[in-house]
Amino acid sequence: MHEPSWDKIRKDFKLTGKVSYFQSAGMSPIPKAVYKTIQETYGKLYELGELDFHGDLAMAEALLQNMGEHLNTPPENLVFLPNSSLAMSMVALSMMRRFGNDFNIVSMQDEFPATHIPFEYQDIPVRYVQPENGRYPIEKIMALTDEKTKAVVCSYVQYSTGFRQDLGSLGKAVRHKDLLFVVNATQGFPFFPIDVEMMYIDVLAASLHKWGCAGHVGSLMYTSPAYREEFPTPVAGWLSVKPEGDDFIVTQKGKHVDIYPSALQYQFGTANLQTILALKTAFEYMQHIGFDNIRKRVLSLVTDCIAKLNQLNGVEILSPHSHAGEQSAIISINLTGKSNQECVLFLQKEMVITTIRNNNIRISLNFFNNHEDIDRLVEGIRRFMAQ
């Protein structure tokens, strides 16, 4: 595989000339090609209205095909939703229709609210596994299940600490107990490998404004055919239902309607195809670089950043990093004897962008970052600590 020109790629992101940006776990900036696509797709709406609606729909379907290959699943198992909270809410409601109220799920203490709030709001008991030095050992997760547990719900990468779960081993353990395996892949997709078949994943949701490099485009949702058969969508819209004959719109009234057996049952209504086409450009842009190259680049930057942070007195690295398979693009640190919040503001004035998560400093690295960005970050923290 070719070695990308990271300096050239860096120039595709306009902000790299102004700031050292370590906040892609909140939202990634978009590259020049995606900005151009957004201009073109909205320009087409300006000039043609919905004249090319079906053409745009076909390109969105081609994106699902491409993403399906990335996840090792056919496109009929995928759908775009406005956000991951909606995807998780659909799971919670479907489980309640199937099991009533006498069941629980197991999740992790560090989860982002989109993972657990949809279940808690429905009064589904959630048993939270406590971390061990930021890690979630599989045996500890499974030990919290009991005869009333129906699902394990977890993130691929924890948003605040960056711990990356071994989904293959956990999925196998969950399947052995005949439980549902529901994954929020937001902080891992598309950089880190996911094989929904080999990992025994029943449902996956991934918000795409983090590492999708396309802005607020929504979320990708995967459901297995077996899951949809047992847990069909609890709500439906006009695009969830199969029309009669060759009709595009369901026109019958007062009759039983059949939802699509595919993931189209979750496509309740029309979506913003313009942003989805921007995502198509972003995904193809990253494919051209190569996801293996991107992952190696990011992990190399993470390793360099951790090594340099370790040289600073008073900096505590909270993210698990002793095992390469548990690293992600996220590093969480705590400053002893100093205010993390004040440090983030200090760095921001220096045009080094980090953020606060769980009262700690979160640093997220992307493939457009470089070692000079890291040096600027570390030097900024050193000067803040010396005040």
Enumerate residue ranges in the chain where pLDDT < 50: none
Distance (Å, rounded) from C-alpha 302 to C-alpha 315?
16
Q: What is the pLDDT of residue 355?
A: 98
| C-alpha torsion sign, points 280, 286, 289, 290 | negative
Architecture of the domain defined by 6-30+290-385: Alpha-Beta Complex (3.90)
Which two three-digit tokens encode residue 261? 């057996």
- CA-based nearest residue to 26, from 380, 344, 383: 344
Domains 6-30+290-385 and 38-285 share a fold: no
Q: What is the pLDDT of residue 248?
A: 77
| Number of helical H runs and strand E runs in the chain | 12, 13
Q: Strand, coil or helix: what is 52?
A: coil
The CA distances from residue 102 to 170, 202, 205, 278, 317, in Å, are: 24, 21, 25, 43, 41
Q: What is the pLDDT of residue 52?
A: 84
Residue 289 has a CB neighbour count (10 Å cut-off) of 18
Residue 323 has a CB neighbour count (10 Å cut-off) of 11
Name the helix (H) or strand (E) containing 107: strand 104-108
Q: What is the pLDDT of residue 1?
A: 53
- 38-285 classified as CATH 3.40.50.150: no
Q: Where are the domains of the chain?
A: 6-30+290-385, 38-285
Verdict on whether the full-model pTM lies above 0.75? yes
